[in-house]
Amino acid sequence: MNKKLAIIGAGGHGKVVGEIASLNKYKIIDFFDDKISKIKNYPFKIVNTVNYLKKNLKDYDAFFVAIGDNHMRSEKIEWLKNKKVNIVSLIHPKSTLSNFSNLGIGTCIMANAVVNPGTLVKDGVIINTSASIDHDCVIEGYSHISPNCSLSGNVTIGKFTHLGTGTSVHPGIEIGNDVRTGIGSRVFKNILDQQIFTS
């Protein structure tokens, strides 16, 4: 693949995304981050700030936002959408994504994650390392399913929601928008919007 990929966000999450991009055979992977002067020993090339990228969009064939904060990631992806550029999703080759699932743009599926048939993953979602999403789930935009989360069938995850590492969700549960669950949470009942849930 000879395409040039621009990635916004050169933090820890960006390192993982950059490696996935390299495994997807992108020939040129350039990062852009407003904190460029403070970033040391980064494994990928950091070209300049995001403002610099805004003036040079034509230099790239594809774009990805590697920002862990759900709302900030949404802001950058929505801006790229308005510019009508090619926003890609990045899927680790050692993940399992069903041919009978649907994936929005700007989403990352990390190593050993599983997305099963009938599941809809919307734009800008992070399905992190070894997360398991069973059949017929709906993951709304700009949410983050952390490492080792386990979602049973027919679960709905709201927009901007962040499931903490190792969260387990019972079948058929609906979790609202902007919810946060603690590490190792076990969710057996629906959760309303903007709640912090620990169990």
Tens-place pLDDT, residues 43-78: 999 999 999 999 999 999 999 999 999 999 999 999
> Of the candidates 51, 172, 197, 24, which has an alpha carbon nearest to the alpha carbon of residue 111?
24
Catalytic residue among 13, 92, 135, 162: 135
The helix/strand/coil state of 107 is coil
Residue 2, pLDDT > 70, answer no
CA distance 146 to 132: 10
CATH class of this structure's domain 90-199: mainly beta
Residue 1, pLDDT > 60, answer no
Tens-place pLDDT, residues 8-45: 999 999 999 999 999 999 999 999 999 999 999 999 99
Once rounded to an integer, what is the mean pLDDT over residues 167-173?
98
Spell out the alpha helix ranges (H) of the chain: 12-23, 50-54, 70-82
CATH topology of domain 4-88: Rossmann fold (3.40.50)
**Domain extents in the chain:** 4-88, 90-199
Told to judge if 135 belongs to the known catalytic residues of this protein, a careful annotator would answer yes
Tell me if 183 sits within 8 A of 199, measured CB to CB.
Answer: no
Total-model pTM: 0.96
* pLDDT score at 199: 85
Beta-ladder partners of 139: 121, 157
Q: How does the average pLDDT of the chain come out, rounded?
A: 97
- In what order do the strands lie in the sheet containing 62-65? 45-48, 28-32, 4-8, 62-65
